[in-house]
Amino acid sequence: MNPDLTRLQPYPFERLRQLFSGVTPPPGMAPINLSIGEPKHPTPQFIKDALARSLEGLSAYPATLGSLELRTAIADWLGRRFGATVDPATQVLPVLGTREALFALAQTVIDRSRAARVIAPNPFYQIYEGATLLAGAAPLYLPTAEATGFRMDFGAVGASDWNDVQLVYVCSPGNPTGHVMSLEEWRTLFDLSERHGFVIAADECYSEVYFDEARPPLGALQAAVELGRGVERLVVFGSLSKRSNVPGLRSGYVAGDAALIKNFLLYRTYHGNAMSGPVQAASLAAWRDEAHVIENRRLYAHKFEYATPRIAAVLPTRKPDAAFYLWARTPLDDAVFSRRLYAATHVTVLPGSFLARERDGFNPGRGHIRIALVASVAEAEEAVARIVEFTTTLQDRHVARTSH
């Protein structure tokens, strides 16, 4: 067996299952799951129709490179959204969602013949860690805490560590904080990549969930354009899952440095991940339409306008820059809070400590919960009401105990 498998930690949702073991929520309360970032808004009918019309494509093996038509549609969308000129022939690959691609990239770029470090935010999407460990590299976590505006502090990395860094994962808008990297943050990271030669993997799967149509989040390709830079050592990952409410379609893209894309395609040719013809057809329809994405944002904006002030009245939190998570502080241990909340209300949230790793005695996720506002409007509002009532009761009991 691969010995690196023993270095993997249980996935957050496996830990959550164990946390809830033996707990029986009130039978009269319908379950509401706000723990996982799985969109629950309806899949647009035109996407389903495009998929159905193309089922004859199942009779042929798909090419790993994908169709030029799909790659052109993605490149055109990147141009409209980020103002970036991307060559569909050499700088775009369709992938089966960002998860598998984020993992596979590390297997492509890590040079095992020398010391290898991979930088990731902390808290983080656990795929970054698994990809790092199974590529034979060592993770280096940078806390993204409220005290630093949820930014990755690249200045905290020592010169000797930078010499070993081969890959940096960034997530903007961030999971779980919703922080969007500024142009100055991108400038710093690009300068460091130029100096030390590492690859930047920009996870932008939440880029299309934001709250002001006039102010879409800055992306990595857009930052490169605005800074007058090329895309050397930069690859960007995007997905239809959140944008178009098709998490089961498993459709996304990788775009950026042509040399990296060429090697990534070589890896994927052997790895075997090729997008089927029907999924390509449905993806093509989705990337060409923006009306359904605007409606999707309207629903999220409504939920955040409702939920943020109500949750903030009992649990310190703020509206994120983008994405669909509230990152809230808890009055007691985050795992204990989550377990008690589930037991009392049948609402599932994710303990923040499950998303982070301890470094220098500090776990930046501890004392927080991640609330994914992915349910329908009615379910989200009901969940918020239950969370508020539970937390108010919890605080009232604490006050009663301390006053005696």
Identify the pLDDT of residue 400: 52
- Supply the pLDDT for residue 398: 59
Domain boundary among 243, 273, 289: 289
Burial 354-391 (b: 16+ CB within 10 A, else e): bbbbeeeeebbbbbbbbbbbbbeeebbbbbbebbbebb
Residues 184 and 311 occupy one common structural domain: no
CB-based contact 219:321 (threshold 8 Å): no
| Residues 93 and 193 grouped into a single domain | yes
Residue 273's pLDDT is 86
Q: Which domain holds residue 372?
A: 3-42+292-402
How high is the pLDDT of residue 403?
54
- State the CATH number of the domain containing residue 252: 3.40.640.10
pLDDT value of position 159:
87
Q: Say whether both 124 and 179 belong to one domain.
A: yes
The pLDDT value recorded for residue 395 is: 77
What is the block-wise mean pLDDT of the chain (404 residues), using blocks of 10 residues? 90 95 94 96 98 94 96 98 98 96 97 96 96 96 93 93 96 98 98 97 98 97 98 98 97 98 96 93 98 98 98 97 98 97 98 94 95 97 98 74 55
Based on the fold, state whether residues 54 and 34 are members of the same structural domain.
Answer: no
One domain, residues 255 and 170 = yes
Examine the domain organization and report whether 98 and 221 are in the same domain: yes
Residue 401 confidence (pLDDT)? 59
Asked if 62 and 157 sit in the same domain, the reply is yes
Output the pTM of the full model. 0.95
If asked whether residues 282 and 349 sit together in one domain, one would say no
Q: Distance between CA 311 and CA 331 in Å, rounded?
A: 13
